[in-house]
Structure 1
Amino acid sequence: MMQQEQTYREAIRQRFLAVDSSNVADVLDTLGLPDQGLAPEFAPQSAEGARMAGWAYTIRGQMTPFPLGGDADKMKACQGLSPGEISVWSGDGEGICYFGELIAIGMKERGCAGALVDGGVRDLRWIAKQQFPVFARYRTPVQSIGRWKVNACQVPVMLRGATARHVKVEPGDFVLADEDGAIAIPAAVVEKVLAEAERLTSVEVSIRSELSKGLSLAQALAKYGHV
């Protein structure tokens, strides 16, 4: 990746960290993209990881019995991560974890900005010490080795959705997750969504300021309209 592109991507990522997923969801509604929110089960798995933003790097797997001894395809997939990307894990691995502490360390070493897991994770106490944000649907001590295997990376994946059964996430889409949940932003509208979300954020800041100075909620709504 060229340095100029990396600088641009990181600037976008930092700006997204200053807006809320709720504002992003509202903007997507106005663009005719109402089903980009991920299932409410996606939640931060440590206090250090309550907010993350980054470009989607997708990893897909499936339940399949195989001998113990590791998952070379998982390690290979993680080696493709670049700075500022979110590893987006999809698959059918109910009840098992997709990765733990050591994979998280490897991702962090490559500059990965966090992980979004449509499945389980473990070693949370140790991942938290790495200050590596992880949003996942559940936690479990049961490993994936011998049960669930990575079969592709950087392909379109389907994650469980909030208002639709699934949300399609493609490599290069943008992921934002915070205390309210997680949402996927198609690559084609990232800049447009960001600019409008920043505008809404600015309006909300003004409203909070005026409310703190004594303006009533009715007066604020009359002045600023619905936000």
Structure 2
Amino acid sequence: MTNTPTLPLDPRAIEILSRVTTATLTTLLLKKGLRNVWLRGARPLRAGQPRLVGRAFTLRFVPAREDLATPESWSSPISTRAAIEDMPAGCIAVVDAMGVSDAGIFGDILCARMHKRGVAALVSDGVVRDQAGVLATGLPVWCNGAAAPPSVAGLTFVAWQQPIACGGVAVFPNDVIVVDDDGAVLIPAALLDEMLLLAPEQERLEAWIMSEVENGAALPGLYPPNAENKARYEAQKPG
């Protein structure tokens, strides 16, 4: 299987989605019938990281096999090192580590190189190593924690820019990832344009509902709004 080229993401899409919470996106995607879009185990390594948006650049590990998962494999043409050199600026690296929590997929040196290449973030259902060093690189990371052993202690790297499963979610190259303090959410590439239309309006509506709650309004008929409250919202919203 050949690797999928990474498509650019319109700066306007980044601008719009960087103002939309992952919670709002999961609700909108649920309304479209997509229930499984939140990547389990991908938590912010540092609290307060900015909300980020980018195309998914995928990497895949399988269970360690002793003849393949060796320190020598780090020099192979199929290696995390080679994959990092293919990462374009602005992408979000999404790593399928099968939820393995006792082998760090990347450490400080690899994360430093990703940061230097302009990678927006690293997202994984696995763990990193050299946590203090990773944090010092400035690369925003969402993962399942930290562990000292290297990746080859429990994993074999096999491919990049192919479909993966990360945190129980199917991720294809060029899907869009949004990350914030609530975790990582996938927007299928085919639904991006629709989300760009729906998400800002949903945020405006929820801000109006919040203002109504702060003014003492009861929830029934307000959240979600009934016809009367929808009409009030439409009459009051700007523009």
TM-score by length of 2: 0.79
Residue 76 of structure 1 is matched in structure 2 by: 82
- Rate the CA distance shift 1:177–1:159 in 2: closer, same or farther, 3 A: same
Which residue does the alignment assign to 2:169?
167
Which of 147, 158, 161 in structure 2 is aligned with 1:154? 161
Q: Displacement of 1:210 after TM fit?
A: 4.3
Residue 26 of structure 1 corresponds to which residue in structure 2? Answer: 27
CA distance in 1, matches of 2:91, 2:121: 7
Q: SS at the partner of 2:19?
A: coil
Matched residue SS, 1:57:
strand
Contact 2:102–2:154 (CA<8 Å) still a contact in 1? no
Q: Which residue of 2 aligns with 1:35?
A: 36
Residues 76-114 of structure 1 show CA distances to partners (whole Å, capped at 9, x for unaligned) of 001111122100111344410100111111111111110
Deviations 1:153-196 (A, max 9, x none): 00000122xxxxx2110000011122222211110001212321
The equivalent residue for 1:99 is 106
User: 1:179-218 alignment to 2 at 5 Å?
Assistant: 179-212=181-214, 214-218=215-219
- Percent of aligned pairs with the same amino acid: 24
**Cα deviation, residue 20, structure 1:** 0.6
For 2:61, give the aligned amino acid: G
User: Mean alpha-carbon deviation: is it higher for 108-117 or for 93-102?
Assistant: 93-102
Query: Partner of 1:207: helix, strand, or coil?
Result: helix
1:108-151: per-residue Cα shift (whole Å, max 9, x none)? 11111101112111222232233321111231111124653321
Native 8 Å contact 1:60 1:91 kept in 2:
yes
Of the three residues 135, 138, 147, the one matched with 1:140 is 147
CA contact (8 A) 1:48 1:132 kept: no
- Distance (Å, rounded) in 1 between the aligned partners of 2:205 and 2:61: 42
CA distance in 1 between partners of 2:134 and 2:48 (Å)? 9
Aligned residue type for 2:113: G
Residue 131 of structure 2 corresponds to 124
1:8-19 to 2 correspondences below 5 Å = 8-19=9-20
Q: Secondary structure at the match of 2:151?
A: coil
C-alpha deviation, 1:37, in angstroms: 1.8
Kept in 1, the 8 Å contact 2:103–2:153? The answer is no
5+ long unaligned stretches in structure 1: 161-165
Contact 1:49/1:131 (<8 A) preserved: no
Which of the two has greater strand per residue? 1
Q: Does 1:90 align with 2:96?
A: yes
Give the distance between the partners of 2:110 and 2:11, measured in 1 at CA.
23
Q: 1:23: how far off?
A: 0.8
**TM-score under structure 1 length normalisation:** 0.83
